[in-house]
Amino acid sequence: MPAAFSVDAQNLQQVLAELRKIDPELRKELQREMKAELKPFAQKLGQSIPKQSPLSGMARGRASSPRWTWTSVRASVVTPLAKRAKLPGFYPVVSMRFRSGSKAAGYEIVEKARRAQSAVGEAFIRNLNNRAPIIGGLGRFVIPAARGAGDEAQRAAQRVLEKFAEKVNRRLK
């Protein structure tokens, strides 16, 4: 489940192009610094995910399929830096991802579960909504928590981008 923010593509592309001209290692340094700056936010959001499954049938060793098993969830920060456009004119800068460990997908299934295609699925969603309801139409754990922390994380990412944009500005003068 990524929580992300984007900047204007023209500005980002110009900064990245100039960073490449100045020193190709600067782009990597930008990515490292962005990850280091936002890792505490990702870890804080990861704390909103319960350690135990909201449904007992998903507990480790009890699920009918290993894919449905609930395991600990890892938080990570990804910096794609203009690799693919989601909206015309905007490029992703940084994302925080939360994934279940191993081959399990219990967290991913629970966070997004909304509609069912069978009676068993309807019962699963009904029980899940009783234990961990969707908050504000967003999700059950991370996405609603990210709404409150998003501004602070965005400011931190913006500070890193501005620091590197300043390096580019010095080069252009």
What confidence score (pLDDT) does residue 2 get? 43
What confidence score (pLDDT) does residue 35 get? 92
Backbone angles phi, psi at 79, to 5 degrees: -120, 85
Q: What is the mean pLDDT of each run of 10 residues along the chain (173 residues)?
A: 47 73 81 91 89 80 68 87 64 81 82 84 90 85 79 84 75 61
Q: What is the DSSP letter of 116?
A: -
What confidence score (pLDDT) does residue 104 get? 82
What confidence score (pLDDT) does residue 126 get? 92
Alpha carbon distances (Å) from 114 to 33, 46, 110, 144: 37, 21, 9, 15
Residue 99 and residue 73 in contact, taking contact as beta carbons nearer than 8 Å: yes
What confidence score (pLDDT) does residue 39 get? 93
- Largest Cα–Cα distance of the chain, in whole Å? 66
Domain that holds residue 165: 3-172
The count of domains in the chain is 1
pTM of the model: 0.74
Q: Could you tell me whether strands 3-8 and 90-100 are parallel, antiparallel, or unpaired per DSSP bridges?
A: antiparallel
